[in-house]
Amino acid sequence: MTRSLRESLAHRSQPILLGLGFALLVAISSGTLWLVQQTSDDAQSVIQAQENQRGLTAVLLALRRAESYQRGFLLVGQPEYEQGYRLTLSGLAPVLENLKTLQADGHLRESDVAEIMHLIDDKLAEMEKTFQLYSAGQTEAARGLVAGGAGRDVMENLRTLIGRLSGEQRSLLNARTGDTQQSIRWLAIATVLGTIIIMLLAAASVWLLRRSNLERDEALDTLEATNANLETTIQTRTADLREANEEIQRFAYIVSHDLRSPLVNIMGFTSELEAVRDAIFSKLATTPGDEAAAQENQELGRDFDEAIGFIRSATVKMDRLINAVLRLSREGRREFRPERLNLNEIVGTIVGSVSHQASEADAKITVGDLPSLTSDRLSLEQILSNLIDNALKYLQSGRQGEIEISGSVRGIYAVIQVSDNGRGIHPDDHQRVFDLFRRAGAQDRPGEGIGLAHVRALVRRLGGTLSLNSAPDEGSTFTITLPREWNAERERSAA
């Protein structure tokens, strides 16, 4: 099984396990509720059965008491016994009433109650008759009635009937109690089983969770390792790039350095040649009066001077270029020292140093509110002074120069704009002006075509960008975007 599949299984089974556990809990809870209901029903039934039993027994008890008063009266004839008998009978009425109520509520069978009533009526009739005979003086007849055993048989029947009914109620009660106990047992079993299953589910859930956590940790470790590898790779690449860059810088330095030596020779010996020129030509013009020879000498001299002149101007130009390359390579190798810079202060100093040129060119320089940033001071001084110098250098003649330096903050970047209303740069040259030794427009100002190349190299090294917006005869705006917090790490990754 692949990791992702295993993981997704673990993730998918989590809710299923939780659902199962929850369903089991609900089942156990509802079972318990049902049982409580059942038990309370059963308790009700038990109480009812006891009530029924009591009702039935009360009938028998009352009749027995009445019978014993009757027997007592027949034996001694004292009126107290008759009184007791009458009192007992009046007590019988509510007992019978209760029995009827029980029957009406469905707790006793109608036929049974009817039979009980019938037997009671028989018994009461028998007892009433004895009292009547006794009162009429027929004492023996009354006693004979009792001795006849009819009343006893009735009582016996009644007792048997009530005993049977009581037994029925008892067995009903027992059955109910048994049922309750049975369901309590089942529920106990179900609860225990359910609890065990829930615990198993919880254990499975915990296990799955732990496994998936473990796998996640492993994946995280792998990711971290990959990241570390990536970082190492990036560092290696960056180091390679830096090395390559440094090699180019070194190469530029060595080449320009080595080119200087022969150049000094060329220039030196050209000077030496010039120094001996007059001596040579004075030697050549030794024969006086030879007009043709003198003429030829003069021509030779002109050719000589022309050649020397070309050599001289070419070497001077080459010297300038080599110096420029040397300066650039030196700048490229310079270590940056980031510090907190107040741009307004830096620009103020630059504007102060060019104020003479500005007043000569009839130009006005306005400086807005510039952001402060952490960067290399010398680089920013060079960038800004190059741009301001350029703005002053390439003003449009015939109108007052207006140079504006403004700034703003955009996120983690500081944006600085140097704009002028000078002669502008043709759109075709917008890229060219940033190339080394390339210049645009009328070549009527001194320069090597290094300034903007240098500025762009510096801005890039500082982790920023330089863009140009310009139209001929309207002016130019150079926009520098620099990180507000420059650090060496950034340069490494940019290098």
Partner 1 sequence: MTNPVLIVMVEDDEGHARLIERNIRRAGVNNEIVPFTNGTDALKFLFGPDGSGIDHKNRALLVLLDLNLPDTTGVEILRRIKENVHLKRSPVVVLTTTDDAVEIQRCYDLGCNVYITKPVNYDNFANAIRQLGLFFQVIQVPAAT
Residues lying near partner 1 in the complex (CB under 8 A): 257, 260-265, 267-272, 319, 322-323
Which amino acid belongs to residue 221? D
Query: Minimal distance in Å, beta carbon 445 to partner 1?
Result: 22
d(CA 88, CA 63): 8
Residue with tokens 């809990």: 25
Query: Minimal distance in Å, beta carbon 490 to partner 1?
Result: 27
- Is the CB of 324 or the CB of 373 nearer to partner 1? 324
- Is the CB of 11 or the CB of 257 nearer to partner 1? 257
**Which bin fits 362, alpha (ψ -120 to 50), beta or left (φ > 0)?**
left
Query: Minimal distance in Å, beta carbon 266 to partner 1?
Result: 8
Query: Minimal distance in Å, beta carbon 321 to partner 1?
Result: 12
d(CA 155, CA 166): 16
Who's near 248: CB < 8 A, 6+ residues apart?
A: none
- Is the CB of 33 or the CB of 276 nearer to partner 1? 276
Query: Minimal distance in Å, beta carbon 325 to partner 1?
Result: 12
d(CA 374, CA 334): 17
Sign of torsion over alpha carbons 419, 421, 423, 424: positive
Query: Minimal distance in Å, beta carbon 269 to partner 1?
Result: 7
User: Strand 401-410 relative to strand 363-367: parallel, antiparallel, unpaired?
Assistant: parallel
- Hey, which residues does 485 pair with through a beta bridge? 374
If we measure between CA atoms, which residue out of 15, 31, 10 comes closest to residue 193?
31
Query: Minimal distance in Å, beta carbon 314 to partner 1?
Result: 13
- Hey, which residues does 468 pair with through a beta bridge? 478
Query: Minimal distance in Å, beta carbon 316 to partner 1?
Result: 8
Query: Minimal distance in Å, beta carbon 370 to partner 1?
Result: 33
d(CA 210, CA 208): 5
d(CA 305, CA 268): 16
If we measure between CA atoms, which residue out of 402, 473, 480, 419 comes closest to residue 441?
473
- Is the CB of 46 or the CB of 318 nearer to partner 1? 318
d(CA 28, CA 22): 10
- Is the CB of 262 or the CB of 368 nearer to partner 1? 262
The helix, strand and coil proportions of the chain, stated in percent and rounded to the nearest 5, come to 75, 10, 15
User: Strand 363-367 relative to strand 465-471: parallel, antiparallel, unpaired?
Assistant: unpaired
Which amino acid belongs to residue 431? Q
Query: Minimal distance in Å, beta carbon 257 to partner 1?
Result: 6
How many residues are there in the chain?
Answer: 495
- Is the CB of 116 or the CB of 324 nearer to partner 1? 324
Instruction: Compute the C-alpha angle 193/198/202, nearest 5°.
Output: 150
- Is the CB of 198 or the CB of 273 nearer to partner 1? 273
Query: Minimal distance in Å, beta carbon 455 to partner 1?
Result: 24
d(CA 130, CA 328): 151
Instruction: Compute the C-alpha angle 44/45/49, nearest 5°.
Output: 120
- Is the CB of 272 or the CB of 489 nearer to partner 1? 272
Q: Judge residue 229's burial from the number of C-beta atoms within 10 Å of its C-beta, 0-12 exposed, 13-18 middle, 19 or more buried.
A: exposed
d(CA 242, CA 490): 12
